[in-house]
């Protein structure tokens, strides 16, 4: 990662950690899944309100490290208004991005603001932090229980 990318990665994560988006409860959520990453202690609840097949509203609450919180925050901004299928596609791309070996090229245009998480590749311990909220979202969309754990 060059210095400019590293600086951007740190800035985006700090900004979202300080000022997370959609950091609230959805009292009438259709689905609600709690995600837990025992390795780091990250614990978030993801709320989803569906409108047919579309994710009409998405929010999260909880606490965790800056990477997990900023990833959850950015996820909500990217996913809101998308269909379930789109959300699954975006998750696959995001997952490929963060689990690829450092230096693997990626499509910045396609990934948009998620590309900043390519920085996570250099800190493998943080991959579970970055994907935690996403795993909770996938479980919510598939209606698979109310709790997911990375372990």
Q: Does 42 bind Zn ion (CB under 5 A)?
A: yes
Residue 65 as a binder of Zn ion (CB under 5 A): the answer is yes
Alpha-carbon distance of 22 to 25, in angstroms, equals 8
Site map (CB under 5 A) of Zn ion, residues 80-119, x = contact: ----------------------------------------
Candidates 42-50, 105-113, 115-123, 142-150 — which segment interacts with Zn ion by CB under 5 A? 42-50
Of 13-21, 27-35, 46-54, 58-66: span binding Zn ion (CB under 5 A): 58-66
Q: Which range, of 12-20, 35-43, 74-82, 107-115, touches Zn ion by CB under 5 A?
A: 35-43
Binding to Zn ion by residue 70, rule CB under 5 A? no
40 binds Zn ion (CB under 5 A): yes
């Amino acid at each position: 990662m060059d210095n400019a990318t590293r600086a951007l990665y740190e800035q985006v994560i700090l900004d979202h950690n300080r000022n997370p988006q959609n950091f609230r409860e959805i009292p009438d959520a259709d689905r609600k899944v709690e995600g837990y990453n025992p390795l780091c202690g990250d614990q978030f609840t993801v709320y989803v309100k569906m409108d047919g097949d579309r994710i009409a509203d998405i929010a999260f609450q909880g606490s965790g490290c800056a990477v997990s919180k900023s990833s959850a925050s950015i996820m909500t901004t990217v996913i809101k208004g998308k269909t379930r299928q789109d959300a699954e596609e975006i998750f696959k791309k995001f997952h490929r991005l963060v689990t690829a070996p450092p230096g693997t090229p990626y499509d910045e245009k396609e990934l948009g603001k998620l590309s900043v998480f390519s920085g996570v590749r250099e800190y493998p311990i943080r991959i579970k932090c970055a994907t935690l909220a996403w795993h909770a979202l996938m479980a919510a969309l598939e209606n698979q229980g109310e709790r997911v754990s990375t372990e």
